[in-house]
Structure 1
Amino acid sequence: MITIHSVSSKRDWKQFFEFPNHLYKDNPYYVPTLVLDEKWNFNPKKNPAFEYIDSVAFLAEKDGKVVGRIAALINHKLNKAQQKKYMRFTRYDVIDDIEVSTLLFKKVFSWGKQKGMDTIIGPIGFSDLDKQGLLVEGFDQLGMFITLYNHPYYHEHLQQLGFTKDADWVEYKVYVPEQIDPRIARISEIAQKRHGYRLLSFTRKKEVLPYAHQMFHMYNESFANLYGFCPLTDGQINLAIKQFLSLVSLEYLYIVVDATGTVIGFGIMVPSLSQAMQKSHGHLFPLGFVRILQSLKKYDVLDMYLIAVKPEYMGRGVNAIILHEGLKKAMENGVKYAETGPELEDNDNIQTQWKSFRTEQHKRRRCYIRPLE
């Protein structure tokens, strides 16, 4: 018999966070989420998103064993801005049993209708910086630290439950060339000489702090019209700064300012942490932190976390400045390729950047939609 109950006790939450590690124990492509981050995400005292979000989580058990989990949330801030009654599902993981999925979603649908919602989308999380999109292509590719991994049958379960495609993201391997395309170097040089743009350099992380808030406020502007995006509050920005600065390597942090010193673009790349997370099962202790530090020093793959340009500066060489410097560092350090992370399939502005490179579109992920009635 399958039972569903809401997550409330410490034991419940521990099972909720650890279930994916058990489900994907022998899967070579699954990359665990950092459990500490997940504890913060679901703690209203730690996650500023709870200022405008309601959330609930459920576990499914069969014969005393956890066989599925799911969380649901309502972003009241975004619903008000868009005049919608949408809810979201996230952290959906199940064994291959449609009955488990059916019962989990039945609980989620009921909760959403009680809250006055009429539509559900997902998987999509607390913010655009959260993991989102169900994997539908690329099951034989190593995951990224910032993305989801799931079995192929998840898609089949969602289809049987009446979900359809709402949006797709694609991901690329961008291979580092032997030589930098002269056009990128030329555009970068012209942009800096003609417009007075400057690429900042840092020797210590605390030197980044005066620009960090500008970066994420600009990020809000740059991503404003993208699918599912909700602008970060100051509290969320403070949290994002702490999280990114704890991982970022200064040689892969690129901030471009105009002649007045205002941030007009930035890029953040990080050496791949996938294998470190696999070995540590998403835990920092006892050896997880050490493995992360090792990954930041010895690597041949980069993960692109964020690239953003102030909207009015698109097409004016800011991207070229970031790409040019990123390529130089990647070539110096023997990087084979960089992974882009999820990009909306119709986001031509971002995908145009890769036309000068040898690329491989190796993953696709999807956000689904379904009316609650």
Structure 2
Amino acid sequence: MPPLRLERHIFLLRSQNPLFKHGDAQLFLAWRDGRVVGRISAQFDELYNAQHEDLTGMFGFLEFEDAPDIVAPLLEAAASWLRAQGRDRMIGPMDFTMNDECGVMVDGFERMPFVKQPWHPPYYGVRCEEAGLEKAVDLFMYELVISDRSKILPVVFKLAERVQKRHKITIRRMSRRSLRRDMDAFAAVYNEAWSDNWGFVPYTKPDLDAYAQEHQLVFDRNWYMVAETEEGETAAVAITVPDINQVLVKMKGRLLPFGWFHFLRKKWIIDRVRVGFLGVKHAYQHTGVAAALYVEHFDTASRTPQKWGEMGWILESNHNMNKAMEAMGGRVVRRFRVYERAL
């Protein structure tokens, strides 16, 4: 699934990626006989370190040919750079943070990756563990057929029905014009609801500026939702992204000469979505607003071309969300593993 080359170039630019406002990174290539056989990044994020009160660094962008002597030197290159930056542990892979693509795929190899998902052949996990990496956590992706209401437990509908009547909370759609402002609402929910999660890093203004710009390329009003009280306070947010990978695979990584044609036809090509974020502020978690957003997704699928998708990633330790996915009729179809190593 080739990414759009222009987007990847922009993502790696220090002037464009917000990581470099609160961290730093170094990129490495592995060469053999005049040919590149692997790559890795080493990076640290001061926001992560402040949040977790540690000196953890990260590695990412990990790609390598299937040979027994490539991964270990790549990891040591990253580790050496991180030690020089005063770090005592590294986790990864993540490109560059947990809010970007992360993990090594260890299950679900037969499935085409969704937007912002990595894909790896089965030997990746094997080589990583041979090189001494240890599992830190697994991330789950759930498949949801969001046009099939029969798979939802009845209690979800009961909870959804009382949200507006009892708690005066309504759901509205974001607009392209208001997207940057709504990203502030998203951050307010995310930075509160996710704060206790493994690997959490808060979104800052530069992060949100970049995030809003990135979403302009895939924005579909049907799938970007905000739940608000009568007073206009944000109670919950759901951001679901039409899977642009279905278009990118036809573009073969390039806009020219004909890639733009497929991009302009994306609304007729994309039939699936990635439910990337659905969060509720602590004060409203008793209201059933999450159930209302779930039901809204199923209703939306009944009138749009997108009928199914994947939800996540979700931490294996997030028991409440895993139970909620099961209540929605979801099933785990992919696992991504984040590794760690002491420095």
Give runs of aligned pairs for residues 194-213 of structure 1, distance below 5 A.
Answer: 194-201=166-173, 204-213=175-184
Name 1:323's counterpart in structure 2: 294
Residue 127 of structure 1 aligns to a residue in which SS? coil
Matched, 1:108 2:78: yes
Provide closer, same or farther for how the CA distance between residues 178 and 103 of structure 1 changes in structure 2, counting only shifts above 3 A.
Answer: closer
CA contact (8 A) 1:88 1:125 kept: no
Name 1:90's counterpart in structure 2: 60
Residue 205 of structure 1 aligns to a residue in which SS? coil
TM-superposed CA distance for 1:218, in Å, is: 2.0
Provide closer, same or farther for how the CA distance between residues 198 and 39 of structure 1 changes in structure 2, counting only shifts above 3 A.
Answer: same
Partner Cα distance (2:149, 2:44) in 1? 48
TM-superposed CA distance for 1:272, in Å, is: 2.1
Name 2:100's counterpart in structure 1: 130
Partner Cα distance (1:296, 1:33) in 2? 19
Matched, 1:273 2:266: no
Partner Cα distance (1:350, 1:218) in 2? 16
Name 1:187's counterpart in structure 2: 159
2:261 to 279, 290, 299: 290
TM-superposed CA distance for 1:371, in Å, is: 1.1
Structure 2 residue runs without a partner (length 5+): none
Larger displacement relative to structure 2 (278-287 or 185-194): 278-287
Partner Cα distance (2:314, 2:268) in 1? 27
CA contact (8 A) 2:144 2:329 kept: yes
Residue 358 of structure 1 aligns to a residue in which SS? coil
Provide, for residues 91-113 of structure 1, a one-character-per-residue CA deviation record: whole Å limited to 9, x for no partner: 00000112222222221121112
Provide, for residues 288-325 of structure 1, a one-character-per-residue CA deviation record: whole Å limited to 9, x for no partner: 34323423334332221221211222242111221111
Residue 167 of structure 1 aligns to a residue in which SS? strand
Residue 206 of structure 1 aligns to a residue in which SS? coil
Partner Cα distance (1:37, 1:225) in 2? 31
Name 1:156's counterpart in structure 2: 126
Percent same amino acid at aligned positions?
Answer: 26
Paired residue type of 1:261: G
The alignment yields a C-alpha RMSD, in angstroms, of 2.0
Partner Cα distance (2:269, 2:184) in 1? 30
Provide, for residues 341-363 of structure 1, a one-character-per-residue CA deviation record: whole Å limited to 9, x for no partner: 31111212322322333333111
Name 1:301's counterpart in structure 2: 272
2:283 to 292, 295, 312: 312
Provide closer, same or farther for how the CA distance between residues 108 and 300 of structure 1 changes in structure 2, counting only shifts above 3 A.
Answer: same
Partner Cα distance (2:147, 2:73) in 1? 50
Paired residue type of 1:358: G
Structure 1 residue runs without a partner (length 5+): 1-30
Paired residue type of 1:186: K
CA contact (8 A) 1:197 1:256 kept: yes
Name 1:44's counterpart in structure 2: 14
CA contact (8 A) 1:144 1:341 kept: no
Provide runs of 4+ in structure 1 moved above 6 Å: none
Name 1:219's counterpart in structure 2: 190
* Count of aligned pairs between the two proteins: 341
